[in-house]
Amino acid sequence: METTLRGVGVSHGVAIGEVRHMGTAVLEPPAKQIPAEDAEREQGRARQAVDAVAADLNARGNLAGGEAQAVLEAQAMMAQDPELMADVDRRIAVGSTAERGVYDAFAAYRALLAGAGEYLAGRVADLDDVRNRIVARLLGVPMPGVPDSDEPYVLIARDLAPADTALLDPTLVLGFVTEEGGPTSHSAILARALGVPAVVALPGAGELAEGTVIAVDGSTGEIFVEPSEERKAQLRAAAAQRKAALAASSGPGSTSDGHMVPLLANVGGPADVPAAIEAGAEGVGLFRTEFLFLDDSKNAPSEAKQVEAYRQVLEAFPEGRVVVRVLDAGADKPLDFLTPADEPNPALGVRGLRTLLDHPDVLQTQLTALAKAAEGLPVHLEVMAPMVADRADAKAFADACRAAGLRAKFGAMVEIPSAALRARSVLQEVEFLSLGTNDLAQYTFAADRQVGAVSRLQDPWQPALLDLVALSAEAARAEGKSCGVCGEAAADPLLACVLIGLGVTSLSMGAASIPYVRASLAKYTLAQCERAAAAARAVDSADEARDAAQAVLSGE
């Protein structure tokens, strides 16, 4: 008999198939003592296992490319963290086996992260995966991970580590469902990049029996268990309609009455550019530059290395717009040479622009590299700072851009409520705003973006978040400047219409979402989008806002 479950849809599309569960996590190794004379040998075993796992993660990253590569390289660095390894050595020296030393050292670090307000919950999931891979290698048992299957299936997991998500084979993995995670978790972002339908934060997903047929709607977050033939037909028909609409939609983004809406791509580096071009991106709305800095957590990349990487992306969009976010280090992206190791709550500490202003040499090198990379190119370069709190922050960044001789527009990301509330003040110093809705929701609702338990507060349909978007857009319009959205909210085709109705001037998203958003905007006039936006802000919950906007756009 058909039953319906509901999680959070994070990647568009429909998948119908049998359930397969992720391989079980490594069991806790026994706590047995070793003789003192075996300690050196065990320490050597631990280091060999750590190095092998790090090499495997880097190899997976090279195969995956793009954002996935940056995430996996960060995991590899986590595996080889000197402090962690020193703790492993200490534990082995007092009698632990290699596998037990690794297990206990990672457990201690895990507790430390969890005690930091759980902002780093996404890092905890990554840490668990690294630990499991090292312990599995030491025990000589199969690695945890995606099940072997010759037939396509729907993957079920407690959570998906980036190492698994990055190399999913879309011909076999029809879609995936996780118990944990949120709409802005690593797995969700990578699922969208792969174009694999996905639902996260579904309580009890692990209880779905192996081999059960389910239908996954990655747009609505609905899971139909043992769906009827009628339900399957409805879902397939809806998917076919969406596919036809996508095929018919091309060219620049606009509403049906000709209001132009530039549709831009979020990229993590040169490897993401081909997919953006294929999807018809009109430029780049968020170029995350962290990928360069993750190669070596102890040293900043040279100016020459940065120039080469930036120019590759800039050359791909002649006459187009490329918005570069300077290094966003700190919190869940720590770098040894930049970020403090002892902050009680890194989310509320020195991160983003605050980090760069504390290390002006790093900022100056990056801005100079961007200036050199853009020399002689017709591209419209724009550079923005993350985590701008007020006008003083915006001025400090604009001054640094001018000091570096950067011929580009300077902008500020709106990720902190204070920047939205005082957007007109911030715009006295910069030329554009870009809303990072992931962090803006996190700080507005005090809800960690990686924690599934608070995912309802991370829903970008929350009316309070829409209010802050509207405030920012209204301020930009009053100042004759632009205000885009580069957070994951822009990837929702229905919400994209509401954002335009709120006054947002451009949308940037993962390449896979661009055709969906383009097709959705093309169905409605600007006036309809404005009415949908007003209806969404007039209610009190995310679900009510979504339903109200849908009702307006459906003519109900």
Q: Please list the active-site residues.
A: 186, 486
Which stretch of DSSP H or E encloses residue 174? strand 173-178
- Amino acid letter at 188? A
Those residues with Cβ within 8 angstroms of residue 528's Cβ, 6 or more apart along the chain or in another chain: 255, 497, 501, 552, 553
Separation CA 122–CA 487 (nearest Å): 17
Rounded Cα gap, residues 354 and 397, in angstroms: 10
Contacts (Cβ under 8 Å, ≥6 apart) of 79 = 50, 53, 54, 57, 130, 133, 134
Q: Spell out the residues 6+ positions from residue 396 whose beta carbon is closer than 8 angstroms to its own.
A: 353, 357
- The order of strands in the sheet holding 213-217 is 3-6, 222-225, 213-217, 14-21, 153-157, 173-178, 198-200, 8-11
Phi, psi at 330, each rounded to 5°: 110, 170
| Residues 69, 193: Cα–Cα separation, whole Å | 12
Instruction: Name the nearest CA neighbour of 266 among 245, 291, 243, 301.
Output: 291
Nearest to 438 by CA among 389, 511, 487, 472: 487
For residue 369, how far is the Cα from the chain centroid?
Answer: 25
Residues paired with 9 in a beta bridge: 199
The H or E element containing residue 287 is strand 283-288
Dist. CA 524–CA 258, nearest whole Å: 10
What single DSSP character describes residue 22?
P
Measure CA 538 to chain center: 29
Q: Check if the beta carbon of residue 420 is closer than 8 Å to that of residue 410.
A: no
**DSSP calls for 527-549:** HHHHHHHHHHHTSSSHHHHHHHH
248's tokens: 């018919």
The Cα 350–Cα 504 span in angstroms is 29
Structure tokens at 69: 């590569």
Q: Which residues contact 530 (CB under 8 A, 6 or more apart)?
A: 501
* Residue 19 host element (H or E): strand 14-21
- Closest among 5, 3, 1, 8 to 453, alpha carbons compared: 8
Residues 6+ away with beta carbon under 8 Å from 419: 388, 389, 390, 412, 413, 426, 472
